[in-house]
Amino acid sequence: MNSCFFLFQRSDEMEVKPTYLGTMIALATAAFGLIAALAWNTAITDFFKRYFPAGSGLLSEFIYAIVITIIALIVVQNLAKVADREAGPRP
């Protein structure tokens, strides 16, 4: 087959499959989620550096880890509730 064949296919043959589109949306969402998480990490780290003295490194790191864990648990629980509501009643 000629390699130009693939460049000039009819538009109905080049439609995007729903699986491909779903995968691309999931990848883009994950990428932007990572960027947002890194931004929040920097902001929260700077907050802890401002309000905890410089000598309390280990203490402030533990407090930071506990706070982030609590926030993560709350977010995940709320997302699970939303997912359950969207899924509807189970058989």
Cα–Cα distance measured from residue 85 to residue 81, given in angstroms and rounded to the nearest whole number: 6
DSSP 13: G
What are the tens digits of pLDDT across the range 6-40?
555 555 555 667 788 888 888 999 999 899 989 98
Q: In the prediction, which pLDDT does 79 show? A: 87
What are the tens digits of pLDDT across the range 61-76?
788 888 888 988 998 8
Query: Per residue, what are the HEC states of 32-59?
Result: HHHHHHHHHHHHHHHHHHHHCCCCCHHH
Q: Would you say the pTM of this structure is higher than 0.75?
A: no
Cβ–Cβ contacts within 10 Å for residue 86, how many? 7
Inter-residue contact 68 to 44 (CB < 8 Å): yes
